[in-house]
Amino acid sequence: MIVTFKSKASGDLVYFKDVALKLLKLMGRDEKIPSALFTEDIATALAQLQQGLNAIAETEREKAAQTDAEQVNKGQSDTGKAYISLNVRAMPLVEMLQKAQKKQCPVQWE
């Protein structure tokens, strides 16, 4: 299943449901689909999302450093699958929320 985020401030964003639910949780929202953010709630949701993404990024940096050190000790090279961080996936939504906040537009998802 996919979730589409919409706002008059920018184009539509499409996420897989699992990623969308993680982002909604970071914004302090429940897992209710469809739903929306009123204009006055966007600043709080954006701040919570950015704070959560920063915490995830720090955890990922620590985990990557530990994994790199273990691979060097074992003499292995990086042969794993490409991993796309939630931070990378979240950037379009962060930009949408910033634009919606600036233009005073609500954001909805379905």
CA distance 96 to 70: 39
pLDDT in tens, the chain (110 residues): 999 999 999 999 999 999 999 999 999 999 999 999 999 999 999 999 999 999 999 998 888 888 777 766 666 655 567 778 999 999 999 999 999 999 999 999 99
pLDDT, residue 64, reads: 82
- What does the pLDDT read at residue 82? 75
What pLDDT score does 70 carry?
A: 72
The tally of CA atoms less than 13 A away on the side-chain side of residue 59 is 9
Looking up tokens 């929202």 gives 29
Residue 41 tokens, joined: 């709630």
Q: Which amino acid is at 25?
A: K
Cα distance between residue 4 and residue 12, in whole Å: 7
